[in-house]
Structure 1
């Protein structure tokens, strides 16, 4: 049977099968567990055209370290359900990866490989195919190697993953029709290499030891927080559940510190389902969320800043996307420098940078972008102050700003949006038990990757101070 026919049967959706390559040679898979502790096992679920495949597992940190390999793993074609995006593939387990007790906490890439020698009589070319999956290894004894926890933005990875036809976004879903439920039990699309990996590479190369967790570990393993002094969010940490946020805010209240080297952070509320194997987020279509009909809006899966939820992310991070926007993205400020303007250079985070008031920060590596968070500001004697009318804590100190703006397609669905408003990315911090810093931008790590001396020194100042003591 030709592969196009097989794919049509397997996918059960003509629109999806029509886009598939016409080649009977493939391999894909996913990790059955998103996050495991050292000493546990990770089931892999694989579909392939070949009778056998190879697997390689490597930790991605300061360098790529291969920790486990296996060849001759039995291959099997597995059917893709029509609702795979929302409910997962349900594939049978192919093999289990034994996670060693000595494996470092971190992000682990799984490479799945097949190869052949071509045809028997002709086409003697060698063919290869490869795909990847990932899982996260937590420290079995939290805090035993580091007091810094990096929780990865795995919910955001899943939100943008359109494998099976649908993501949470219309632009990359079938027929431009966004899904509202997405499963982790399908081949993944990771954003780790874009933001978190450059941060991890810089940190580990400079002597910082980090322990790792998934977003959902803040919900399902909140007890781990007590072992850390500092929690990090890096890059694009957009999707948070109520338990995630509740647990982190309670920990901050007891003296825990957080550094959000991220932007668009905690923008949308999700509800984890199936024990964390999937989540729901209705976003702009919040009126279709069953919670809307119940009028119990606390867990309504829309903007955290929505007036029905009444819990703007500013209360956690100090800033939010409603007062932020885009820079060097979505057609906004595409030609202007993507740099912060420094306002309060005497603050301890700027120690050793040599920066002065009104100096630019990070323009070489466009650290302000592509999505940025801000707060409502008022200006006095040329300096910005948070009004706190948007939920930003009263003691939030604005250290640097840069103009940003929403694209109308993103903003004007919200009936309380002020059309045409220009916001400002805001870097700053506040203290409420522990200290909370925000970079206010997704692209802070690009300054580390680019070798910006001031960005590196600010990051050092924050890691060194907040990992040692409360506030």
Structure 2
């Protein structure tokens, strides 16, 4: 063990042993009866598999929503382009539903197909924004308490003549319903990789490799470059991720939906939001015990980080079942066309010090908003100060190795003799660095041979002075241990009873008491 590991282990034994041992008692019995969860009742309703795309579109039918999320009871506009004279729209809530994966919430919507104008890229920033007319307005107002439950929804678009299909993804929130867990869908990362119209924030994923410094939410999500990745076209990285490395097929398998399926299968009391909500509301976590970042959560604004840190310091438990998290700072601006807030994402990245207007304006008061990596100047706010770990390397596909099997989080879990959880380390991994949070405990220290050198991914846990536990898996692929969606089309099976039980223990630890800003 390194000196750093010894130091954190000593702190664990002396300073927070009582807290973590007390957590064992919480692990034994759930915080709330899962049988009483609204999620349990919702998933007892009949689902179906007709939500799955059978003939994914290229550009024959596609669209976007006017917001990444809406409060239950609000309206949402769909902007749809189609080369077909008519299209149909069917709206599904995503979950478990006895393995079917979704429930039809509203169907039978038939609309005239409209050819919408195709935008061109801004010659300076690369911004591509659609100015499309509204094709349909969804109204989620209802007197039925069982309808439009908070969740991640997919509107399935189908061309009546061509049969081509795609999705529009959106989230329904219930800001006024207390729940144990708040699941964040990381749509800013979806948008960073989205190359619809020929531009993303990556040169290898952009036309002529002139990547965009600004990207818009007023456009559809493009199709994955993987030959089988079209199954999620229009859904961002929720089902299948946008590959920027065509030879690295693991990057297209997706992560968020796997954990949604598992949480809902097990009846956890969960509501949903997006990181645009985390950005726009300091009380985004109101009424929740813990907040979950899942899969790939790379792009954070200053407001997002301040709001999450503030919630943590008020006692909210944080679960980072993710990696490469909070790596790049972004800014969110209004749409230059509609004026709607938070519809344009600004990300100058590697050229920020040379091109970002905030770096060039001679005003030091806004330097903390320059869109560089969080660990770099002028920010100097390494992400591990919040998360416990930070980005190490990519690509990785290996085994996660538990190195503290006697820790209470692993109590009663039948780990294999070598303490390995096969295939759960990757696609990107994080590790612990010196000068991280006080009392950081390294639970797993997983080696991986990459380019002739051993690199490590770390799973960590720490407790804040406010009493908040903060867990980090240090791997994007953790949710593959929970659910086998996308097997065998995009990856091999990785489900693990041990990973599922560990996750139950972690969730019980994170949700150990009721917290809200109002209390």
Sort the TM-score into its range (normalised by shorter chain): 0.7 to 0.9
Deviation for aligned residue 1:470 = 7.5
Deviation for aligned residue 1:27 = 1.6
Deviation for aligned residue 1:87 = 4.6
Matched, 1:457 2:517: no
Task: Provide the residue aligned with 2:373 in structure 1.
Answer: 303
- Pair member with larger Rg: 1
**Distance between the aligned counterparts of 1:225 and 1:399, measured in 2?**
27
- RMSD (Å) for aligned C-alpha atoms: 2.2
Task: Provide the residue aligned with 1:191 in structure 2.
Answer: 237
Tell me if structure 1 keeps the 8 A contact 2:331–2:345.
yes
Matched, 1:79 2:117: yes
**Segment of structure 1 superposing worse, 60-69 or 253-262:** 60-69
**Distance between the aligned counterparts of 2:287 and 2:453, measured in 1?**
42
**Distance between the aligned counterparts of 1:77 and 1:195, measured in 2?**
33
**One of 452, 456, 460 as aligned partner of 1:424:** 456
Residues 86-101 of structure 1 aligned to structure 2 (within 5 Å): 86-101=127-142
**Distance between the aligned counterparts of 1:351 and 1:431, measured in 2?**
19
Matched, 1:134 2:204: no
**Distance between the aligned counterparts of 1:340 and 1:55, measured in 2?**
42
Tell me if structure 2 keeps the 8 A contact 1:372–1:404.
no
Task: Provide the residue aligned with 1:417 in structure 2.
Answer: none
Deviation for aligned residue 1:25 = 8.7
Tell me if structure 2 keeps the 8 A contact 1:156–1:239.
yes
**Distance between the aligned counterparts of 1:179 and 1:342, measured in 2?**
40
How many correspondences in the alignment?
399
Tell me if structure 2 keeps the 8 A contact 1:218–1:247.
yes
Q: SS where residue 224 of structure 1 aligns?
A: coil
**Segment of structure 1 superposing worse, 275-284 or 93-102:** 93-102
**Segment of structure 1 superposing worse, 241-250 or 446-455:** 446-455
Deviations 1:314-342 (A, max 9, x none): 11101111xx112536xxxxxxxx11222
**Distance between the aligned counterparts of 1:168 and 1:174, measured in 2?**
11
Q: SS where residue 216 of structure 1 aligns?
A: helix
**Distance between the aligned counterparts of 1:100 and 1:446, measured in 2?**
35
Deviation for aligned residue 1:222 = 2.7
Q: SS where residue 56 of structure 1 aligns?
A: strand
Greater relative CO, 1 or 2 (CA 8 Å, sep 6+): 2
Deviation for aligned residue 1:307 = 3.1
Residues 143-158 of structure 1 aligned to structure 2 (within 5 Å): 143=178, 146-158=179-191
Task: Provide the residue aligned with 1:113 in structure 2.
Answer: 158
Structure 1: runs of 5+ lacking an equivalent: 1-22, 117-126, 330-337, 377-386, 408-419
Task: Provide the residue aligned with 1:291 in structure 2.
Answer: 358
Deviation for aligned residue 1:406 = 8.2
Deviations 1:381-411 (A, max 9, x none): xxxxxx32xxx1121111111235888xxxx
Q: SS where residue 163 of structure 2 aligns?
A: strand
Residues 65-76 of structure 1 aligned to structure 2 (within 5 Å): 65-76=103-114
Task: Provide the residue aligned with 1:39 in structure 2.
Answer: 73
Task: Provide the residue aligned with 1:280 in structure 2.
Answer: 346
Inter-CA distance 399–72: structure 2 relative to 1 (3 Å threshold): closer
Q: SS where residue 133 of structure 1 aligns?
A: strand
**Segment of structure 1 superposing worse, 228-237 or 449-458:** 449-458
Matched, 1:368 2:425: yes
Q: SS where residue 339 of structure 1 aligns?
A: strand
**Distance between the aligned counterparts of 2:270 and 2:305, measured in 1?**
21
